[in-house]
A and B are shown apart, each in its own frame.
Chain A
Amino acid sequence: MSLNSGWTGNPLLKKRFVVLALCATGFFLLLVLRLWYLQIIRADHYRNLAERNRTRYIPIVAPRGGIYDRNGQLLADNRPAFDISVLRQEVDDPEALLNRLSVLLELDVEVLKERWQAGLRGPRFRPVPLARDVERPVLERVMENTVDLPGVLAEVRPVRSFPLGPLAPHLIGYLGEVTEEELRSQSFAHYQPGDFIGKSGLERGLESWLAGQDGERRVEVDVLGKTLRILRTQEPVSGHRVYLTLRADVQEAAQQAFGDRAGAAVVMDVRTGEILAMVSKPDFDPAQFARGLTSKEWQALQNDSRHPLQNKSLRGQYPPGSVFKIVTALAALKAGVATAHTRVYCTGASKLGNHTFRCWKWEGHGVTDLKKALKESCDVWFYEVAQQLGIERLAATAREFGLGEELGFLLGGERKGLIPDRQWKRARFNAPWYHGETVIAAIGQGYVLTTPLQLASMMAAVANGGTVYRPQIVRRIENVEGRVVRSFQPQILQRHPVAPAHLKAVHEALWAVVNEPGGTAWQQRLPDLPYAGKTGTAQVARMGAVRRRESEIPYHLRDHALFTAFAPVGNPEIAVAVVVEHGSHGSSAAAPIARAIIARYFKLEQDRMPTPRTALPAPATAAGPPDGTDEVPGAEPPAAAEAAAPFTSTSE
């Protein structure tokens, strides 16, 4: 039936069909070759890509280790914070999304845009955080609308919480996002952009202990980033628990006692160097940092002239004022230039060459011995003694008590203070040392500078008879299971035993400061507990000869008020140093804080409450108003600064 052979028999046609068939087959071969390349030669490569495509690693931030006080009270804990973030790759119209979120989050759309832009600079697949630590109702509102909000997700992250409120914020410190600079350094090699790290205080110093190990979740996701299945979870290991030497109640009492005044206080165990409280005022609320500060809030903290971010216990350098007389007294006793019975007649001024150095008390103290000199803070006694002592021996004793040097505080950041001597002055000013400068140094003025930590440590050494301990803040570090991985022992920095007779004389004098009528801190005595102390007033600006009322002096020119103490007298346990910036008088501004601290410290440990060694003198009935305390109305001189006087007639 080959009826149509005439048409199909055409050889030209046959040739063309062959060409077409060959061409078609050729194209198919090309496709096969390509498939061979993709599926056989490059198969492993693409398998790898496919694997990565469907699995995503979601980091699980490890909770930071808790920070506890010495009795196991939790000071810094973790709580879950919910962040609203957006997956960049799923947002088609950021403008519209941000506008919607602005309504739901009750945040200004410009703020959101700013954060969005900032997030765009980060890693591609990292969700951009738009609102950190949102309130519960906001979270719920966003989550209800999640269907219309592509790419929006809530991430949970542990943040710091402070069960007892803002206790010792400078010491504990705060967290912040790791900076690019830090990421480049070796110590942050395993950190990722966006991680939070300790930025100050213990959080920074103990970062490697507190941080823990982040876990991660390997999840299978679809193209929308929706988690379909969890493939593997590596649980995070939470950070170590850090037990401090701090006592939360004492810390709290100290902070409360400060009120809104500026300054610092340190409480130290005289037997170990353990720090029981460390206050710096004004302070900040670390919970605010955990929530995330706005740049405005941060600016406000940074620009505050009273430096709320600075830990003044370590970094504040103050002239110790009359507090330093303790050192001068011990130096004089040691050198033999004075005894407890050395008497000086105070007329209210002392002449050295053609300079007159005034006592703070214009009318003078009359016959004054060591005890009276400390008790009533007579300047003249020390002027006279200092002239025989000389600066070198005074400076040597000061250093033996740990002044003028760093004490090796665990977290660093200490200032050295300054104990001047001839060599120092030569190096610093290329000038000889003058006698007058020794006299001024003897009452803690002039070049002498100390930190509150040094003052506490000095007072501890005075209390324990000459042992300077390294200030200790951490007692032990435990892992999550509660096993102690590191414990800290008291560490003696130096030991220069004070002769028992000298110690006794000074202790008695310091006891008298608080417990005898006429003592500068007599108003601040604790009836149940004899403690020893010394007031001090550090001149900030020279007032000239004219005395002015305290209220007439601008705040920033008012004198600093100091008070150091140890308690109890017979068997010292704690030393306290308090500095109130521009507080004017050690007796009225600083001593009450120390008293509050001591009261709280011993109240809690009633069973160990020591019995008074000495019967208390009868209350104020016998004696007139103690000089130098402005608590008594009409007391003269009004508003006198203890140390302001020496300069009034000095011509340099």
Chain B
Amino acid sequence: MFDRRLLTHFDWALLLVVLVIAALGVLNLVGVTASWSSSALPYYLKQIAWLGVGLIIVLIICSVDYRRLEHMAFPLYGITLLLLVLVLAVGHTSMGATRWLNLGFIKLQPSELAKVVIIITMACYFTRHDQPLPFSLRELAIPALLLALPTALIMKQPDLGTAMIVLAIGGTMALFAGIGTRTLLFLAATGLAGAGGGWFLLHDYQKQRILTFLNPEGDPLGAGYHIIQSKIAVGSGGFFGKGFMKGSQSQLSFLPERHTDFAFSVFAEEWGFWGCLVLLALFLLIVLWGLRSGRHAADRFGTFLAVGVTAMLFWHIVINLGMVIGLLPVVGVPLPLFSYGGTSMITTMIGVGMLLNVSMRRFKF
């Protein structure tokens, strides 16, 4: 039952780029955490372990035809919504946010699951509603609702970063499905109005982050601290960088969360502009490669799946980097494959697995 052709069509290039980025991430982590005294397992070893887990997940996902997902889409969607509600009801609270379900042996973060499930659900919906003309406002009502439910639940946790990612994924997929110009303009207008109204729904800390983003120097030791320190780290790297483990900002712990969300500023400080170019090129390569998988997918569901996964990776990358270099407000979005963290690694690898799955079955009915 295992088709040999699957192996010959396996997208080794994509996996290679993924592994190179992950390797750079581990290297970066070694540098960041070298001076941290801890009796526990070093962070980079944990990250390697998570990468291993991720690869196993990739293997599992690739062994199952992605087309089966189409039939599982709505049950999965239902379960996810249930879990999100459950999180709000009995979730584990940490640092002012309720994001985790404690399952005893593992802490599950349903909002991460939501990212993947929304891709599958939207892909399923747009596969079944194939039409030559762009979607009208009325026709978008159902996918909009599908998107709005989990987004709202995630917002409630509150987790602005993930909610934005989920929204961005769904939006990108809808755009790809085709939306008329007038509809798009209308959506953009209501979106802006909604953002204005939404301001009042935001939590104080979220408002603070946006205000701080607009004027970080206003509170250099408080909310603006992250952005200012990160910009100093990146900027002081210059063209050639300060050299591996020689970044004063990161080594002297002026940078907060430098092993997770702000890992890139460490990299930028130590490797400079040219290092950033290389890393960005690798990320762009993944994005374009993902689009290429969609372009060559065997069916409409595969295409949407690939576009969704690519959108997920893309928005993570753009939002994280935008935040680190002071183009976007600080939202807790990790850099895929690069930031330390098991949750991010597993979500990313699930996406990578789906891409590879679509890619390796591009010739198969």
Contacts and interface: CB of A to CB of B under 8 A. Distances in A.
A35 B325 contact: yes
A223 B257 CA distance: 13
A184 B327 CA distance: 43
B284 A25 contact: yes
Interface in A176-227: 220-224
B288 interface: yes
Given A24-B288, A50-B236, A17 B294 contact: yes
Nearest to A14: B295
Contacts of A223: 252-254
Contacts of B296: 8
A48 to B, nearest CB: 8
Interface string A35-73: 110111011011101110110000000000000000000
A20 B300 contact: no
A24 B291 contact: yes
A117 B307 CA distance: 58
B273 A4 contact: no
Given A31-B321, A54-B252, A39 B268 contact: yes
A32 B277 CA distance: 7
Contact of B234 (A7, A38, A54, A224): A38
Contacts of B327: 30-31, 34
Nearest to A50: B236
A47 B238 contact: yes
A7 B298 contact: yes
B365 interface: yes
Nearest to A45: B235
B231 A38 contact: yes
A3 interface: yes
Interface in B284-337: 284, 287-288, 291, 294-300, 303, 307, 310, 314, 318, 321-322, 325-327
A4 B297 CA distance: 8
Given A27-B318, A31-B322, A54-B248, A17 B295 contact: yes
A31 B320 CA distance: 11
Contact of A24 (B276, B314, B362): B314
Given A4-B298, A20-B307, A32-B277, A39 B363 contact: no
B363 A49 contact: no
Which 6 residue pairs are nearest across A and B when measured between Cβ atoms?
A46-B235, A50-B236, A43-B238, A38-B235, A39-B273, A46-B236
Given A24-B288, A34-B325, A42-B235, 14 more contacts: A14-B295, A28-B284, A31-B325, A35-B268, A39-B238, A43-B235, A43-B239, A47-B236, A49-B232, A50-B248, A53-B248, A223-B253, A223-B254, A228-B252
Interface of B: 172, 176, 178, 221, 229, 231-239, 248-249, 252-254, 268, 272-273, 276-277, 280, 283-284, 287-288, 291, 294-300, 303, 307, 310, 314, 318, 321-322, 325-327, 362-363, 365
A20 B229 CA distance: 33
A43 B276 CA distance: 14
B291 A53 contact: no
A50 B176 CA distance: 44
A8 B295 CA distance: 6
Nearest to B248: A54
B273 A50 contact: no
Nearest to A53: B254
A32 B235 CA distance: 13
Contacts of A35: 234, 268, 273, 276-277, 280, 325
B239 to A, nearest CB: 6
A76 to B, nearest CB: 41
Nearest to A30: B327
A3 B252 contact: no
Identify the interface centre among B172, B235, B249, B277: most chain A CB within 10 Å of its CB.
Answer: B235
B243 to A, nearest CB: 14
B113 to A, nearest CB: 25
A39 B254 contact: no
B298 A24 contact: no
Contact of B325 (A17, A28, A38, A43): A38
Nearest to A49: B232
B297 A40 contact: no
A620 interface: no
A650 interface: no
Contacts of A43: 235-239
A89 B221 contact: yes
Contacts of B326: 34, 38
Contacts of B248: 50-51, 53-54
A13 B252 contact: no
A485 interface: no
A152 B277 CA distance: 43
Contacts of A501: none
Given A17-B291, A34-B327, A38-B325, A54 B254 contact: yes
Contacts of A42: 235
A43 B235 CA distance: 5
Contacts of A341: none
A507 to B, nearest CB: 77
A21 B280 contact: no
A50 B325 contact: no
B235 A28 contact: no
A36 B273 contact: yes
11 contacts: A12-B178, A21-B291, A24-B288, A31-B318, A31-B321, A35-B268, A35-B280, A35-B325, A39-B238, A46-B234, A47-B238
Nearest to B274: A39
A40 B239 CA distance: 6
Contact of B249 (A13, A28, A36, A53): A53
B280 A31 contact: yes
A16 interface: yes
Nearest to A221: B252
A1 interface: yes
Contacts of A25: 284, 288
Contacts of B236: 43, 46-47, 49-50
Contacts of A221: 252
A32 B176 CA distance: 25
Contacts of A7: 297-300, 303
Given A3-B363, A32-B280, A220 B235 contact: no
